[in-house]
Amino acid sequence: MSDRRGGTAAVIERCLAEGRPALIAYLPVGYPTVEGSLEAMRAVVEEGADIVEVGVPYSDPVMDGPVIQAAASTALARGVRVDHIFDAVAAVRDAGATPVVMSYWNLVLRRGVDRFAADLAAAGGAGLITPDLIPEEAGDWIRASDAYGLDRIFLVAPSSTRERLVAVAAACRGFVYTASTMGVTGVRSEVGSSAADLVARLRQVTDVPACVGLGVSNGDQAAAVGATADGVIVGSALVRALTADLAEGGEQTGELRPGLETLRSVTADLADGVRRARSGAN
C-alpha cells in the first residue's frame, strides 16, 4: 500500500488503523449552486467524511440514476463549468479531508489529459475516478497520473471476471471502486451480498484497498458493507438529503436553508455506521 502524502490510500490506511473503513462522500459541484455545493462539501467533512468525491456534472451521465442525473442537469442549467471542480477540490482540502474527482471521460479529454492532471494536482486533488474509462483505454491518463502523482481509480463490477479484476486492480492506485450491484447510482433498500462477494474476490487478487459504492444510503448499510470493504462510498443519499435542505423556493433559486440539517444528520449516521462496522458486536 502506498503511503504517498495526500493520496487516498494513506487516508484509508489511517482509517483501517482506527479499526474502521473510510467514509467517502460524493457530491456534485454546482448543485444546487457552486457556492452551495462547496458549503455542502464542508458540511460532510465536518460530519465525518474522510474522502470527498467531487462529481463533475455531465450532459450524458450513463452510470448515474435519477437523483444524480437531476442534480447534474440543474447544475449545468445554472452554468457550472469544469473549472469549478478545482475550487471544490481546494475547498475540501482546506476543510481537512481528501478530495478526489469523479468525471466522465470526455470532460477530461476535452481539457487535455495532461492539463487536467496538472490542474487537479495544483488544486490539491488526490486523484480521479473514471466511471467510463477502462484501463485499456487509459494510456494517456496512466502517464499523466504518474507524472503528477495522482491516484487513478477504476471500477470493477459483479460481472467482472477474475482476469478483469487482476487487470483493473493492477492499474489502480489509491483504491478500487467496487460497484456493489449491477446498475447505476441510486438509493437501494438493500445492497445485498454481491458487494461482499466481490470484495472477497478482489482480496484474492490484490491488496489495493476495495471501496464499495452504489446503493448505500444509511448507517446500517454502511456498517454492513463496511464489515469487509475498506471504504464505503455514498452519493445519491447525500444528494437527496441536500435537496431536502433547499430553502422555500430553492428549487428555482438554489438557495439552501442555513445549517444543512438533513445533510449533516445523514452524514453523521453514515459516519456512525462505518464506526460500528467492525466493532465486533457480532
Partner 1 sequence: MSETRVPGRFGQFGGRYVPEALIPALEELDEARLKAAVDEDFAAELARLHRTYTGRPSIITEVPRFAEHCGGVRVILKREDLNHTGSHKINNVLAQALLTVRMGKKRVIAETGAGQHGVATATAAALLGLDCTIYMGKVDTERQALNVARMKMLGAEVVAVEHGSATLKDAINEALRDWVTNVETTHYLIGTVTGPHPFPEMVRDFHRIIGEEAREQVEDLTGSLPDAVIACVGGGSNAMGIFHAFVPDEGVRLIGIEAGGEGIDSGRHAARFAGASPGVLHGAMSYLMQDDDGQTIESHSISAGLDYPSVGPEHSFLRDSGRAEYRYATDTDVMAAFELLCRTEGIIPALESAHALAGAIEVGREIAAEVGPEKAGEHVLLVNLSGRGDKDMHTAAAYFGLLPEEKEQALEELEEDEL
User: Which residues would be at the binding site for partner 1 (CB under 8 A)?
Assistant: 58-63, 65-66, 69-70, 73, 76, 81-82, 105-111, 131-134, 136-137, 154-161, 164, 168, 179, 182-184
25-55 b/e (C-beta count within 10 Å ≥ 16 → b): bbbbbbbbbbebbbbbbbbbbebbbbbbbbb
C-beta of 177 vs 228, nearer to partner 1: 177
Q: How far is the CB of 63 from partner 1 (least distance, A)?
A: 5
The active-site residue, picked from 39, 47, 53, 119, is 53
Our CB check for partner 1 shows the closer of 133 and 212 to be 133
Q: What is the 3-state secondary structure (H, E, C) of 217-253?
A: CCHHHHHHHHCCCCEEEECHHHHHHHHHCECCCHHHH
The HSE-up count of residue 143 (CA atoms within 13 Å, CB side) is 7
Q: How far is the CB of 138 from partner 1 (least distance, A)?
A: 10
- Alpha-carbon span 43 to 49, nearest angstrom: 9
Please say if 53 is a catalytic residue.
yes
What minimum distance in Å lies between the beta carbon of 208 and partner 1?
A: 15
Q: CA-to-CA distance for 54 and 128, rounded, in angstroms?
A: 9
Quickly tell me which residue has 486523484 as its cell. 127
Set 47, 50, 64, 272: catalytic member = 64
Q: Is 149 left (phi over 0), alpha (psi -120 to 50) or beta?
A: left
Phi/psi for 102 (5° steps) reads -115, 120
Cα 94 to Cα 41, 46, 58, 230: the distances in Å are 11, 12, 26, 24
137 is catalytic: no
Smallest distance, partner 1 to C-beta of residue 160, A: 6
E strand intervals along 112-240: 127-129, 151-153, 155-156, 176-179, 210-213, 231-234
Q: Which residues does the annotation mark as catalytic?
A: 53, 64
